[in-house]
């Protein structure tokens, strides 16, 4: 079934007269995804009723009220779940004679088209159709694409053989990528401005979460990945219960002809990435940290769709691994084929790309492990400075001449060490505070 992606239409485009359509009834809880339904309902011109059954006054409730939702609580403090629809119906009667569409599990994305289709005039209460109930996807292939007009048709056609749905996120391409992908049968989300590879990935995760996808497979839009590897990735995920399956250029079964310069660069990046996550034993390493061919399960999709720390650039692949490490996700690697001989491949200068990745990794290490990356070197620097200081005064006592060079060196090492130590302590305190 062809799907329509979520849009960012303004309220003026969908506004209708008050009372001309049913109200949308929601039940408040602590899940901020309730607010997504509030916003979309208002953009479509619906009156929004939000029942706060426990009079919680939570952040979600306060924000919904500021957004214009009609927030109310029932007279009784303890309300059975079965009565939620009844209270919403009574509230709706004061606003419209068209009834109310009720989503008691209000954190689930509402399928407004299906819900309206299910609602009948004269019916006071209709259960909302949510994405999870009526529109789930087994295997979704997501393709971030930028100026891939020449390759995207084949990528979509081949992926459709192994997927339930193919989603292409066009990152404000300057060619006909979006039109070609749409004609090929893919669902297309178009960015109005270029957000980078990471920005396109985040849109893929958000759409996959909204569609309740069980498996999300990421392919590059230039045709370098082999879609025939999709079944193997999904089967591996199901048999091992891995949260993320990575198509590795270094695992058994890989037929990738990796150029020597890429192999060396990947060795450096892979080493730094694994060490930055505290993985010391080589047999526990992720062997291909930069592979774009990955398969995510439902849990990974949900958390990644809500993670704003993932960068917009090519470093997003590394950021996702840090996210997986932080959440304790299980990773599996399978051999895959990557074709570097495709026409018009996505091109990134390997030197600048590598330096960007290394810089991002080092910044992450500094932020996440300040006592190791700053504290220990700082202490060592201060200790060396004290040694130079001892040498300075010893030389002065024995020779009567004050060695300016040694003194300056001593002061430099001591001050640098003290600065690094204090910075490490401050960052460590901030990390501890944020974790709490």
Domain containing 78 — which CATH number?
Answer: 3.40.50
Give the distance from CA 358 to its chain's centroid.
Answer: 21
> Looking at the structure, do residues 117 and 232 belong to the same domain, yes or no?
no
> Looking at the structure, do residues 265 and 212 belong to the same domain, yes or no?
yes
The answer to whether 215 and 296 are in contact (CB under 8 A) is yes
pLDDT in tens, 277-300: 777 677 778 889 889 999 999 999
| Residues of the domain holding 114 | 11-134
> Looking at the structure, do residues 340 and 221 belong to the same domain, yes or no?
yes
> Looking at the structure, do residues 262 and 170 belong to the same domain, yes or no?
yes
For 419-424, what is the mean pLDDT? 78
pLDDT in tens, 96-140: 677 788 886 777 788 888 888 877 766 677 788 776 544 567 999
Burial 282-298 (b: 16+ CB within 10 A, else e): eeebbbbbbbbbbbbbe
**How many domains does the structure of the chain reveal?**
3
Task: Determine the pLDDT at residue 5.
Answer: 60
Last residue of a domain, one of 134, 162, 180: 134
> Looking at the structure, do residues 150 and 111 belong to the same domain, yes or no?
no
Last residue of a domain, one of 110, 134, 158: 134
Structure token digits, residue 377: 């070197």
**43 is a domain residue:** yes
CA dihedral 341, 345, 346, 352 (to 10 degrees): 50
- Average pLDDT of every residue of the chain: 80
Work out the pLDDT band at 18, boundaries 50, 70, 90: very low
Q: Which helix (H) or strand (E) holds 378?
A: helix 376-399
Task: Determine the pLDDT at residue 9.
Answer: 39
Work out the pLDDT band at 61, boundaries 50, 70, 90: confident
> Looking at the structure, do residues 315 and 191 belong to the same domain, yes or no?
yes
> Looking at the structure, do residues 274 and 126 belong to the same domain, yes or no?
no
> Looking at the structure, do residues 24 and 113 belong to the same domain, yes or no?
yes
- Tokens 């849009």 sit at which residue? 7
Task: Determine the pLDDT at residue 344.
Answer: 56
> Looking at the structure, do residues 226 and 207 belong to the same domain, yes or no?
yes
Give the least confident one: 53-62, 192-201, 329-338, 366-375.
366-375
> Looking at the structure, do residues 307 and 419 belong to the same domain, yes or no?
no
Residues near 9 by Cβ (< 8 Å), separated by ≥ 6? Answer: 43
Q: The pTM is what? A: 0.58
The C-alpha angle with vertex 306 and arms to 195 and 353, in degrees rounded to 5, equals 40
φ, ψ for residue 163, nearest 5 deg:
-130, 155
**156 is a domain residue:** yes
User: 269: exposed, middle or buried (C-beta count within 10 Å: 0-12, 13-18, 19+)?
Assistant: buried
> Looking at the structure, do residues 77 and 146 belong to the same domain, yes or no?
no
pLDDT in tens, 160-175: 999 999 999 999 999 9
Last residue of a domain, one of 343, 360, 377: 360
Structure token digits, residue 47: 């009156």
Task: Determine the pLDDT at residue 8.
Answer: 44
């Amino acid at each position: 079934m062809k799907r329509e992606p979520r849009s960012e239409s303004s309220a003026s485009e969908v506004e209708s007269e008050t009372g001309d359509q049913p109200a949308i009834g929601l039940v408040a809880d602590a899940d901020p995804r309730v607010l997504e339904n509030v916003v979309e309902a208002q953009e479509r011109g619906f009156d929004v009723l939000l029942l706060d059954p426990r009079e919680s006054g939570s952040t979600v409730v306060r924000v919904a009220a500021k957004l214009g939702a009609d927030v109310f609580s029932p007279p009784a403090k303890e309300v059975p779940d079965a009565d939620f629809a009844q209270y919403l119906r009574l509230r709706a009667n004061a606003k419209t004679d068209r009834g109310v569409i009720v989503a008691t599990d209000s954190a689930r994305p509402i399928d407004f088209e299906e819900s309206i289709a299910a609602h009948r005039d004269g019916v006071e209460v209709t259960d909302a159709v949510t994405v999870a109930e009526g529109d789930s996807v087994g295997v979704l292939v997501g393709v971030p694409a930028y100026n891939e007009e020449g390759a995207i048709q084949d990528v979509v056609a081949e992926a459709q053989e192994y997927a339930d749905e193919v989603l292409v996120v066009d990152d404000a391409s300057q060619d006909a990528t979006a039109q070609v992908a749409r004609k090929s049968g893919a669902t297309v989300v178009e960015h109005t401005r270029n957000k980078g590879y990471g920005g396109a990935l985040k849109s893929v995760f958000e759409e996959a979460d909204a569609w309740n996808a069980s498996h999300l497979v990421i392919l590059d839009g230039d045709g370098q990945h082999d879609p025939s590897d999709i079944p193997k990735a999904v089967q591996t995920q199901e048999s091992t219960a891995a949260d993320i399956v990575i198509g590795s250029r270094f695992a058994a079964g890989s037929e990738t002809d990796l150029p020597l310069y890429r192999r060396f660069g990947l060795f450096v990046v892979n080493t730094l990435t694994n060490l930055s996550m505290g993985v010391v034993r080589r047999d526990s390493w992720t062997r291909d940290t930069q592979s774009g061919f990955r398969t995510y399960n439902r849990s990974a999709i949900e958390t990644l769709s809500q993670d704003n720390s993932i960068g917009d650039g090519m470093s997003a692949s590394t950021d996702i691994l840090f996210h997986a490490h932080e959440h304790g996700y299980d990773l599996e690697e399978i051999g895959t084929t990557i074709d570097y001989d495709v026409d018009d491949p996505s091109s990134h200068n390997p030197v600048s790309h590598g330096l960007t990745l290394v810089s991002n990794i080092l910044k992450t290490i500094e932020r996440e492990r300040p006592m190791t990356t700053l504290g220990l070197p700082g202490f060592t620097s201060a200790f060396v400075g004290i040694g130079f200081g001892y040498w300075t005064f010893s030389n002065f006592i024995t020779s009567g001449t004050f060695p300016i060079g040694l003194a300056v060196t001593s002061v430099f090492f001591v001050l640098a060490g003290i600065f690094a130590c204090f910075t490490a302590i401050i960052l460590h305190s901030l990390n501890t505070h944020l974790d709490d």
